[in-house]
Amino acid sequence: MNKVIIIRWGEIHLKGKNRGLFEKMLENNLKHAIKDFDCTFKKISGRYLIKDFSEFYTEDILNKISKVSGVHSASVCEIVKNDIDLIIEKAKEVCKDRSGTFKVDTKRADKTFPMLSVDISRKVGGEILGSNKNLKVDVISPDFIVNIDIRESGETFIFTDTVMMMGGMPSGSSGKGMLMISGGIDSPVAGYMMAKRGMKLDAVHFHSYPYTSEQAKEKVIELTKSVGEYTGGIKLHIVSFTEIQEEIHKNCKEEYMITLMRRFMMKIAEKIARNTGAQAIITGESLGQVASQTIESITSSNSVATMPVLRPLIAFDKIDIIKISEKIGTYETSILPYEDCCTVFLPKHPLIKPNLKKVMIEEERLNVEELILNALSNVEVIDL
């Protein structure tokens, strides 16, 4: 069979005079995503086309496309010449194993084609009905639509299914962010949400060996790699956080542990972000979910940052977040029982509403700059 894949974009249509820049960015991202497949990629009016590929790899190509932000939908199509008899035969073939209700929807970009769209739909629909007694016509609410797209190139595309894709904006069109990634459910989802809005990502993780295991580290690497599939690759910066945790535990009141840790993490993440060209910090915080995510705790963390801190999950509940993590394939990895650094020195009664002045008094017990420099002096970078 001669098949092609039509790729459509969404929001780019709204970009006015800048539309061409976004289209080119999406085109480059798509070419990168399918670079390992032997196929032809071309742009046609208002969409992209993949052809000349082995049918064996159809699902693999669709899977790659589904992780390219900016793609609205895709359809696997049969392709014939602009000839009514060929169109009819192929449409009958597409519907031979279908049952239920259908309608035919024709778009005739080739205005030299000797029939009007409505006449093509009527004739093809009648032929389909005559060849398959399990089908009935329903033009209002059909079970499926036979789409016929007659192009100026002399080719007609015929398809019945449209697969919804990632949507959003092309990766790289919205700058670059530094994702603070843990081994939990939330932060990979936050990264995905920002990738969907066109933001390229790097990631930073705080590791507390020997209090946390190498398995915990490998878990985070795997999660970051999964997020990177939606951004065309990603670099993970792993920061040794052990000394900082030990110093807080030794010198500060127990209930301030999480609050002070978050402030250190934010300061270090921002320094790495600036060194790598990132323009914002991204966290997986959801308002009120845990003690470190109350508005007072968020205010404490925010007060040490001078670049934007983006929290795409701030109004999500846990069920919302889990659904997305399952959709993007990170949930099963996130729930593996390997603790990250935040669980090592958990106080019995963490502050829920920290007072910023009191937090800063506790922080003065520490040599903050020296601890940050030590942490930054031995950052491991993994290119995923």
Range of the domain at 256: 176-383
End residue of a domain, out of 116, 134, 164? 164
* pLDDT surpasses 80 at 341: no
Beta-strand pair 47-51/3-9: antiparallel
* pLDDT surpasses 80 at 340: no
Do residue 139 and residue 236 come from a single domain?
no
Contact 106, 121 (CB under 8 A): yes
Do residue 283 and residue 368 come from a single domain?
yes
276-295: per-residue pLDDT in tens? 999 999 999 999 888 788 99
Sign of torsion over alpha carbons 43, 7, 224, 173: positive
Predicted pLDDT at 225:
97
Q: How far apart are CA 142 and CA 272, in angstroms?
A: 54
Q: Which of 166-170, 173-177, 208-212 has the lowest mean pLDDT?
A: 208-212
Better pLDDT: 22 or 321: 321
Do residue 16 and residue 128 come from a single domain?
yes
* pLDDT surpasses 70 at 344: no
pLDDT band at 358 (very low <50, low <70, confident <90, very high): very high
Q: How far apart are CA 260 and CA 47, in angstroms?
A: 50
254 φ, ψ to 5°? -55, -40
Q: How far apart are CA 215 and CA 266, in angstroms?
A: 24
* pLDDT surpasses 60 at 342: no
Beta-strand pair 71-81/163-164: antiparallel
Q: How far apart are CA 210 and CA 127, in angstroms?
A: 71
Better pLDDT: 337 or 277: 277
pLDDT band at 350 (very low <50, low <70, confident <90, very high): confident
Cα-to-chain-centroid distance, residue 319: 18
Predicted pLDDT at 343:
62
Q: Which two tokens stand for residue 191?
A: 């990264």
Look at residues 181, 185, 267, 169 and name the one whose alpha carbon lies nearest to residue 228.
Answer: 181
With respect to residue 114, please indicate whether it lies within any of the assigned structural domains: yes
pLDDT band at 44 (very low <50, low <70, confident <90, very high): confident
Q: Which two tokens stand for residue 13?
A: 């249509």
Contact 178, 281 (CB under 8 A): yes
Mean pLDDT of 307-323: 97
pLDDT band at 2 (very low <50, low <70, confident <90, very high): confident
* pLDDT surpasses 90 at 191: yes
Please state the domain count of the chain.
Answer: 2
Do residue 122 and residue 21 come from a single domain?
yes
With respect to residue 170, please indicate whether it lies within any of the assigned structural domains: no
* pLDDT surpasses 70 at 27: yes
Q: What is the largest CA-CA distance in the chain?
A: 85
Considering the entire predicted model, what is its pTM?
0.90
pLDDT band at 123 (very low <50, low <70, confident <90, very high): very high
Predicted pLDDT at 108:
94
Do residue 48 and residue 84 come from a single domain?
yes
Mean pLDDT of 7-21: 85
Mean pLDDT of 146-174: 94
Look at residues 235, 236, 304 and name the one whose alpha carbon lies nearest to residue 268.
Answer: 304
Look at residues 236, 335, 306 and name the one whose alpha carbon lies nearest to residue 276.
Answer: 236
* pLDDT surpasses 90 at 253: yes
Do residue 74 and residue 134 come from a single domain?
yes
Contact 312, 244 (CB under 8 A): no
Token look-up 């459509």 returns 8
End residue of a domain, out of 105, 134, 164? 164
With respect to residue 53, please indicate whether it lies within any of the assigned structural domains: yes
Contact 330, 223 (CB under 8 A): yes
Percent of the chain with pLDDT over 70: 98
Give the three-class secondary structure for 162.
Answer: coil
Tell me 13's DSSP state. G
CATH code for position 184: 3.40.50.620
End residue of a domain, out of 118, 144, 164? 164
Contact 48, 7 (CB under 8 A): yes
CATH code for position 149: 3.30.2130.30
Give the three-class secondary structure for 55.
Answer: helix
Mean pLDDT of 350-354: 88
Predicted pLDDT at 26:
94
Predicted pLDDT at 118:
96
Mean pLDDT of 23-33: 94
With respect to residue 219, please indicate whether it lies within any of the assigned structural domains: yes
Burial of 75 from C-beta contacts in 10 A (0-12 / 13-18 / 19+): buried
Do residue 180 and residue 160 come from a single domain?
no
Do residue 185 and residue 131 come from a single domain?
no
Residues 6 or more apart whose CB falls under 8 angstroms from that of 55 comprise 1, 3
With respect to residue 169, please indicate whether it lies within any of the assigned structural domains: no
Contact 239, 275 (CB under 8 A): no
Q: What is the mean pLDDT of the chain?
A: 93
63-116: per-residue pLDDT in tens? 999 999 999 999 999 999 999 999 999 999 999 999 999 999 999 999 999 999
